[in-house]
Structure 1
Amino acid sequence: MQRAVVIGGSIAGLLTGQALSAAFDEVVVIERDTLDTTSSGVRRGVPQAKHPHTLLRRGEQILDTLCPGITDDLIRHGAVVMPMDRVWWWQQKGYRAAVTDAAPIISCSRPLLEFLLREHVGSNGVVELRTGETVGLVGGDGAVGGVRVRDPSGGSTVINADLVVDCSGRRSRADHWLTGLGYPVPDVQLVQSDVRYTTRVFHRSTSVRTDGAAGYFVISDPQAKRRFGTAMPIEGDRWIITLAGLHGEGAPTDPAGYLSWARTLPTAKIASIIEDERPIGAAVRFRLPGSEWRLFHRLAAHPRGFVCVGDSVCSLNALYGQGMTSAAVQVVALQQALARSDVMGPEFTRTFYRLSARAVSPAWTTATGADFVYPETRGHRPWPTKMINRYVTQCVVAGQHDPSIAARLWDVANMVKSPASLLGPSALARMVRNAGRRPLGNSEPVTPR
């Protein structure tokens, strides 16, 4: 296979380009934004770039496989390694028990991660990063054969390709392009939770009242408020703090209002950092309607040589930090499809979308299930959702007492294991052992003896 074209230089697009470089002689990644040459530049096309981004453990594993050595590079550039026994997670009126034997996760800013990923991908000798706006597909006889691109000077060119992958995100025009080629567009599952978050960066010193915690995740009692708070360390000795809410709950941007809102969280840890540390820049806001999944895997017909990856397929509530890892598991599905089917054959696209749907389904179930805890959430709600949420609530409370259950919850949150792992025999046995436990209301996580 000679050439592949990737639409979009996002995390999904860069990972896709790197994966395709093993199967194609040439890979062209087309990004609409002018790319910054520094590790702190924010792309205009990533409205949430100034907000926290968590590379979950599963995403980190895939990233290191596709780009060997990149996590070491992140750490050399100041990314923070967060041991799981020092990540304090408050939910259901208590802190999750400390987990000492889980692999740590890496925390950094989105611009740093994109910068280093571009460095790795751009240096492999196969992938070319090109600036331009993709304005259409070139196709005929049941296949897509390339893209039409408008370059920064206003000129238009056609780039021929054996495979085109759309990684242009939630605002993808794939539906419009498919209609233009005479193909059906997928149904879309929507879960509307009206997510609003406000983020501010602070200096990170060693004198703040963190009690040894590396980071905080705080979820208010769903029966009382729809509020969340996170404080994560990033490069440059900084905290990135986000105050978020669902269904109209949004924190103000002025300093007094921001601090006052933080004080409404059920634990004072995040408010203490805001009180003690020096702010860097102003607070910024972002709003997201919720989660959406384009059900490409249910379509009966597809053009050959064209698939979608990342948020172009499945965009999740950003509060749960699954977006980049969701894109990564789709890229693995793309590799698997390339290994199983001829890219120009009729089975390739169907094979990919089937594998992709299987890969993102656990994250979709976890994110939307959490949103449906709140009665205001609207959208497709599978019938067992309420029953599952009651069981997960019991797991969360048991995880405050039992580090083994806490470890399973972390594995699910990090997309290392499926949510179904919470229903395995050993997990159920521990749940029976912890039946009837009440929330701890503890001031710090329980540590294993």
Structure 2
Amino acid sequence: MDATILARIQFAANISFHILFPTITIAMGWVLLFFKLRFNATRNEAWMDAYRFWVKIFALSFALGVVSGITMSFQFGTNWPGFMERVGNVAGPLLAYEVLTAFFLEATFLGIMLFGFRRVPGWAHTGATFLVAFGTTMSAFWIIALNSWMHTPQGHEIRDGVVFAADWWAIIFNPSMPYRLVHMLLASALTCAFLLAGISAYRTLRGDRAGGVRTGLLTGIVIAAVLAPVQAFVGDMHGLNTLQHQPAKVAAMEGNWTTGGRVPLLLFAIPDEATRSNRFEIGIPSGASMILGHAPEAVVPGLNDFVGLHPPVAPVFFAFRTMVGMGLLMIGMAWLSAFLLWRRRSLPKFILRVLVGMTFAGWIATLAGWYVTEIGRQPWLVTGILTTAQAVGPVPAGNVGTTLVMYLALYAGLLLAFIMTVFGLAKKGQLAEATPDSVLPVTAAVPQRP
């Protein structure tokens, strides 16, 4: 492999590992705030039990997200110097805004959230939880704004080959940004929901009857049941936006080679770029035309219209189906679990085991969707402005390959350690909730009533 391919794989590995943890913390901050507000309103210890357990998962996820994010930022200079040289006047300020308005906010108030329960009034601790949750969302806002601009750039001008900002409002709120932001926030909520449900189901199967267990299970299932179909609707809207601005990506997602109407929705196929055709097609007649154009005769763009300027077809094609398939599974499992809880007020062991198996289902869907987005942009790094090949640095392939192997080994170890730690906390049951007084003493924050 040449240096460009290795650099792409390295960055993909880095961002794939990094994105796992913000997808938890973005929504988990708001879930923790919900737990705290419910506890303040009801004085029911079950809400505080849930808060004490899940704040540990939040802190661990936040730490890993920060570390992997810093490593990723260095690669802009080592592997992709052409990116900042060409579009740094736009990318630099957006990344700086994320640090100034989000990261500092999170880092400052996370300390109060974790260690200030006894040292500050109850309202201040609740406020710190809110500010941390708000900070995680603001972080997502700025990162998605930059990423969306790279897909659908506007509000800039080019002088001597260098991009300069002309309209920051247009840059931030570019055509794809609202769809990507909502899609990402919902993805985080679903990732968090199935993590809540899966770990709570695991604790239930182990006989843990702490109040926070059922609270976490119910919260996760309700969030998933409500938001999973909303995500499907938002995804459809995002697809229509992509059809308008990035038709080559949509053609790869659908595995469609020839522009025309009555294009089938392919449930399975093996795209072959050598012959520019598909093998072993199984599809629904006119399905793609109906979804993308809401009519059987609706025209779907074909890859043959973008020869040399379309992404690798197979990775985008299969990643899209993985994302959609996992999304449908989430909807079905969330609705079934919600129905059983409504009818029986408990879940059978088989359903609990399935929920445990889907603990990290949100990660799979998120990574698949991210691959569709990022691989689907190729060969462009910034659409119409900068190709990936133009941005890569002069680092020898051997050096990139060596560090890539080191990255992969480190990330595999950290990911395994994270999963084992999460389930290890769950195994401890109530012992895991017996937080030291220096961290979260409930009695210090709640005056005893007569």
TM over 0.5: no
Which interval holds the TM-score relative to the shorter structure? under 0.3
Could you say which structure has the larger radius of gyration?
A: 2
Q: Normalization by structure 2: what TM-score?
A: 0.25
Q: Which has the higher helix share?
A: 2
TM-score (norm 1): 0.25
- Whose strand fraction is larger, Structure 1's or Structure 2's? 1
